[in-house]
C-alpha cells in the first residue's frame, strides 16, 4: 500500500468529511493539524478508555480499528459501535462526567487526541469544518439506529451481511477501499459481539454467505464481488450513511481507490 506524499486527501477524516461538503484548502489544513496534535498508540485489545472514567479529550482514529462496547454484570458483552480509520469519538463528550461504556482497540491503533481548546479554536476559525463535524456526529447516531434495526429485526444472515456491507461502504467513503476489496481484521468472535450472536452461529452463517458467494474473506482482506447482490441479501438501504450529496449514488462505483474522479 504505497502512501502518496503530502496530499491531504490521504487523510481518511478529510476524505469522509468531503462526502458531506467540499472543504477548502485551509479547512483541510486545519484538520491535518488537529490530527497531528498529540498522537497516541495502542496494541490490539487494549482499552482506550474505560467505563467510569472521565472523558477529557476528543479522539480521532488515525489508523487501525476500534470499538465501543458495554457489558452486563454476568459477562455478556455487546459491541455498540465500530470506529474505522477517520472516525471521531463524540464531540462534546466533556459535558458528561463519566463514560458509560468502554472503547477498545481491535487492531493496533493510532489515535489523535484533540483538546477542547484546540477543537474550539479550529472550529471557530473554520465554520464549514464545524458543520462537517456535526454531519459526522449525526451520521454516527444514524448508524446506531440502523444497528438497532439490525439487532431487533434482521436474521443472523441479514445482520452479518448488512454489517459487511456497511463496513465496506464506510471504508470506501474514507478512501480505504480498492475496487471491490478492503481490509478486514475482524474475528468471528467480534462479529458475534456486534451482531448479538454466538460465535458458533457466526461460523455457521459465514458458510451460508460463502455458499452464496456474496463475500470472500482471506488474509484479512474482504472482497465483495457484487455489492448490489450483497445489499439485496441484507436488505441494505444506504440512506442512513447520508453519503448521497451531489447526486452521488452509492451503487455507482465511484471511489476506485486513489484515482481521481472523472468529473
110 touches, from a copy of itself, DNA, none (C-beta below 5 to 8 Å by class): none
Indicate the residue among 66 and 173 with the shorter CB distance to DNA.
66
Binding site for a copy of itself (CB under 8 A): 20, 51-52, 68, 70-74, 76-78, 80-81, 90, 92-93, 95-98, 100-101, 131, 134-135, 137-138, 140-142, 144-149, 151-154, 193-196, 235, 237, 239-240, 242, 244-245
Residue 151 is a binding residue for DNA (CB under 7 A): no
Question: What is the Cβ-side half-sphere exposure of residue 65, based on CA atoms within 13 angstroms?
Answer: 17
Closest distance between a copy of itself and the C-beta of residue 96, in Å? 6
Q: Which of 199, 200, 204 is nearest to 189 (CA)?
A: 199
> Closest CB to a copy of itself among 87 and 146?
146
Rounded to the nearest whole angstrom, what is the least distance from the CB of residue 140 to DNA in the complex?
25
- Can you tell me the distance from the alpha carbon of 254 to that of 172, in angstroms, rounded to the nearest whole number? 9
| Helix ranges, the chain (H) | 12-18, 25-36, 116-125, 127-153, 156-173, 188-195, 199-211, 227-233
Choose the contact partner of 201 out of a copy of itself, DNA, none; CB within 5 to 8 A by kind.
DNA
Gap between the Cα atoms of 36 and 57, Å rounded = 14
Report the DSSP beta bridge partners of residue 63: 110
Residue 80 or 118: the one with the smaller Cβ distance to a copy of itself is: 80
Closer CB to a copy of itself, 220 or 245, in the complex: 245
State phi, psi for 221 to the nearest 5 degrees.
-125, 130
Contact 58, 111 (CB under 8 A): no
Closer of 50 and 220 to DNA (Cβ): 220
The three-state secondary structure class of 256 is coil
Residue 245 binding target from a copy of itself, DNA, none, CB below 5 to 8 Å by type: a copy of itself
Closest to a copy of itself by CB, 84 vs 139, is 139
**For residues 94 and 188, what is the distance between their CA atoms, to the nearest angstrom?**
34
Question: Which of the 8 DSSP states describes residue 95?
Answer: G
According to CB under 7 A, which residues from 179 to 238 bind DNA? 187-189, 196-201, 203-204, 206-207
Least gap, CB of 175 to DNA (angstroms): 25
Q: What angle do CA 133, 193, 206 make, to 5 degrees?
A: 105
Nearer to a copy of itself, 97 or 218 (CB): 97
Measured over all CA atoms, what is the biggest interatomic distance in the chain, rounded to whole angstroms? 55
For residue 172, the minimal CB distance to a copy of itself (Å) is 19
Using CB under 7 A, list all residues that contact DNA: 155-157, 187-189, 196-201, 203-204, 206-207
Amino acid at each position: 500500500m504505497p502512501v502518496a506524499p503530502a496530499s491531504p486527501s490521504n487523510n481518511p477524516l478529510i476524505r469522509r468529511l468531503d462526502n458531506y461538503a467540499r472543504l477548502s484548502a485551509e479547512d483541510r489544513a486545519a484538520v491535518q493539524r488537529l490530527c497531528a496534535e498529540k498522537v497516541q498508540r495502542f496494541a490490539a485489545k487494549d482499552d482506550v478508555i474505560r467505563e467510569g472514567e472521565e472523558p477529557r479529550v476528543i479522539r480521532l482514529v488515525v489508523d487501525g480499528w476500534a470499538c465501543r462496547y458495554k457489558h452486563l454484570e454476568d459477562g455478556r458483552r455487546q459491541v455498540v459501535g465500530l470506529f474505522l480509520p477517520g472516525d471521531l469519538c463524540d464531540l462534546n463528550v466533556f459535558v458528561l462526567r463519566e463514560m458509560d461504556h468502554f472503547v477498545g482497540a481491535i487492531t493496533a491503533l493510532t489515535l489523535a487526541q484533540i483538546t477542547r481548546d484546540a477543537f474550539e479554536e479550529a472550529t471557530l476559525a473554520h465554520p464549514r469544518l464545524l458543520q462537517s463535524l456535526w454531519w459526522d456526529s449525526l451520521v454516527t447516531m444514524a448508524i446506531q439506529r440502523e444497528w438497532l434495526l439490525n439487532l431487533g429485526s434482521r436474521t443472523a444472515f441479514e445482520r452479518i451481511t448488512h454489517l459487511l456491507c456497511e463496513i465496506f461502504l464506510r471504508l470506501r467513503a474514507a478512501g480505504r477501499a480498492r475496487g471491490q476489496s478492503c481490509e478486514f481484521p475482524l474475528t468471528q468472535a467480534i462479529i458475534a459481539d456486534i451482531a448479538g450472536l454466538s460465535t458458533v452461529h457466526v461460523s455457521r452463517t459465514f458458510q451460508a454467505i460463502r455458499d452464496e458467494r456474496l463475500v470472500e474473506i482471506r488474509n484479512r482482506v474482504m472482497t465483495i464481488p457484487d455489492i448490489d447482490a450483497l445489499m439485496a441479501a441484507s436488505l441494505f438501504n444506504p440512506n442512513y450513511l447520508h453519503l448521497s450529496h451531489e447526486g452521488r449514488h452509492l451503487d455507482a462505483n465511484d471511489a476506485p481507490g486513489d484515482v481521481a474522479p472523472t468529473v
